[in-house]
Amino acid sequence: MKKVQLTSHDQLGNTGLKTGFWLEEFAAPYYVFKDAGADIVLASPAGGLPPLYPKSDLAEFQTELTHRYKKDPDAQRALASTVELETVSHEDFDFVFYPGGHGPLWNLAESEVSIQLIQAFERAGKPIGFVCHAPGVLRRVKKQDGRPFVEGRHVTGFTNGEEADVQLTEIVPFLIEDEFRRQGGLYEKIENWAPHVVVDGTLMMGQNPASSEGVAKALLKLAQG
């Protein structure tokens, strides 16, 4: 089985605005996995329907796969009934994927349950994938020797420039690019908003929403051997 882990956080700092998961970053991987015949389990810290980042539902951010999701009652029912993260064991899954949206920076980055789960997947040699802001959930993940998980690894994630473009540099709890560089990660990026996927062993990351399908395909390819 394949696991998709979503955020339950819906507050964009102290702005009074809403955040959550980014629709395209869920829909594209969901259908990559689904069309490959995967059994998918959706999870979130609180269980139930995770909060959708309202901005991601605007017309300009829709894709063929978000439109497919909106016409798919089975997918909508699955999303509305995510299991609670604490009930999930890495032993039951082939890999785990985290969609982005700003929400993960607040709750999943600080979730001990998520931290332990990622460490368990990685130490079992199972693929783990993250896109856009989701790589930020690795902030407090450690290697077995206690050093930062990203130290010495090729990584990517939402860039400082992309965060500046959406005018949230001073709102987010940390900047992924700065945090990964501070922890010794070999951070890579290309031009803002262009698809960019980085693979380092069983770790796969996408820079931004446009990278979500590419990360999912890389994750699936590795899991299938």
> What is the tens place of the pLDDT at every residue in 140-165?
999 999 999 999 999 999 999 999 99
187 in Cβ contact with 201 (< 8 Å): no
pLDDT band at 6 (very low <50, low <70, confident <90, very high): confident
- Residue 166: is its pLDDT beyond 80? yes
Q: What is the mean pLDDT of the chain?
A: 95
What is the set of domains in the chain, with CATH numbers?
2-223 (3.40.50.880)
For residue 2, pLDDT beyond 60? no
* Per-residue buried b or exposed e for 118-135, using 16+ beta carbons within 10 Å of the residue's own CB: bbebbeeebbbbbbbbbb
Q: How far apart are the first and last CA of the chain?
A: 15
Residue 91 exposed, middle or buried by CB count within 10 Å (0-12, 13-18, 19+)? exposed
Share of the chain above pLDDT 90, in %: 90
Calculate mean pLDDT across residues 173-193: 98
Residue type, 45: P
- Please determine, for residue 196, whether its predicted confidence score (pLDDT) is greater than 80: yes
In this prediction, residue 87 has a pLDDT band, given cuts at 50, 70 and 90, of very high
* Residue 52 CB contacts under 8 Å (≥ 6 apart), including other chains: 20, 21, 23
Residue 194 — left, alpha, or beta (φ > 0 → left; ψ -120 to 50 → alpha)? beta
Cα distance between residue 154 and residue 147, in whole Å: 15
Question: At a CB cut-off of 8 Å and minimum separation 6, what does 51 contact?
Answer: 7, 8, 9, 10, 18, 19, 20, 21, 103
pLDDT on residue 12: 87
Dihedral sign computed on CA atoms, order 114, 153, 3, 90: negative
pTM equals 0.95
Residue 211 has pLDDT above 60, yes or no: yes
Task: Answer yes or no: are the C-beta atoms of 174 and 98 closer than 8 Å.
Answer: no
| pLDDT higher than 80, residue 90 | yes
Backbone angles phi and psi of 104, in degrees to 5: -60, -25
Residue 1 pLDDT: 67
Give the CA count within 13 Å in the CB-facing half-sphere of 173.
16
Q: How far is CA 55 from CA 61, 110, 161, in A?
A: 8, 24, 19
Greater confidence, 189 or 17? 189
